[in-house]
Amino acid sequence: MPIILDDADHRAFLIRDAHRALDFFDNSVAADGFRTLDHDGQPLPGTLQELHTTTRLVHSYALAQLAGRPDRAGVIDRGMEDLWRRHRDAHHGGYMWSITGEGPADATKLAYGHVFVLLAASSARMAGHPDADRLLDDIRDVLERHFWDEDAGRFRDELTRDWQPFSTYRGMNANMHGVEALLAAHEATGDPLFLSRAGRILDFFIGGQAAAHGWRIPEHYDQDWRPDPDYAGNPVFRPAGTTPGHSFEMARLLLHWWDLGGRQSDTAPQQARALVATALADGWDQARGGLVYTVRDGRVDRASRYWWPVTEAIGAVAALIKLDPRPADAEWYRRLWAFAERHLIDPRRGGWYPELDDAGQPSESQFAGKPEIYHALQADLLPLVPDLSHHGAALSRLQPLRQADAPSISGHP
């Protein structure tokens, strides 16, 4: 492992931050499901339990369990039960977007949520959960039957509860997380079809779209998969423009897929570097630090600074360091962690603040409380393993979170 990722003090810092976050998000479990937490770890009133929240908690705690940290709060059990008994639509099949203690709130069927079900089932299987195969078999069938477009080699986006299309929208975000889930499913099962489909998605968005658009990936498309630069939807999930944070994710996933497939070409590392370099150049806020949310034609469109692009940049740069370390990679890795520690990480209560105001202080203009552990936990865990792929197996082998008494160390290599 390159020395910057093998630094003992930095590794202790990552381990401690992961433990703090897991201790904080243990409070997510409630009698009737999961609750979104405020900055102090108290449940926010009136929040819905959304499919991506349930699945990301299962995935995150499965990774932590593989890494040696027991699931003391029963998050995985709670999440697997809720996915099967509450999110799953027993009448029409598939998984409903949001639920309350009383039942469905939004029964729409979205590819974005369904691919996270595949991710959760795959991670739970790697962690040995007894209900993982049941969930994995079901979600595989649902994705095959309703969302996968074999001719296009990508996932369709959105359907009604009874599987009627209600828009012609096609998007990169659901497919990006589809790649993430397909790679996890391949690692959990060994089925080569998952790996093949991930490659088809990556080829379209990176080898096709990013290469044709200055190594920026168009987010939104029409039903014929032509980019729609004027589309503007949900400001959290479907903002206009391109999103540097997604370029980091796609770069890391591309290297993950390439490594799983036996590193059969030399184009993937070059493409990953192009994506990361462009996203850093476009997205890094020279005046305030951090990464802006969206860009249009290389110019900042939405200057909001959220936590998750920083976590994804950390993951992507760490992957480049593992593959082919360069001085600029080490510089960016230090810079990203220094910014996160100074502005985003809550060292007293645990977890990361999701957004910052212009002065670099926590803000709640878009996100209430601390909405999730998923992005930050992966930023902590992925640099701890030497591999570009097989993260679950590597975490299980190394068990870094068994070091429960790691000291609180502020600092990076």
Which residues belong to the active site? 246, 375
Q: How far apart are CA 132 and CA 83, in angstroms?
A: 11
β-bridge pairing 220-221 and 170-171: antiparallel
Task: Kindly report the backbone phi and psi dihedral angles of residue 315, in degrees, each rounded to the nearest multiple of 5, phi listed first.
Answer: -60, -40
The residues pairing with 345 across neighbouring beta strands, listed in sequence order, are 352
Contacts of residue 50, defined as CB under 8 A and 6 or more positions apart, other chains included, come to 97, 98, 113
Burial of 7 (0-12, 13-18, 19+ CB in 10 A): middle
172-189 helix and 192-202 helix, angle to the nearest 10 degrees: 160
Q: How far apart are CA 265 and CA 283, in angstroms?
A: 29
Q: How far apart are CA 72 and CA 23, in angstroms?
A: 9
The DSSP code for 44 is P
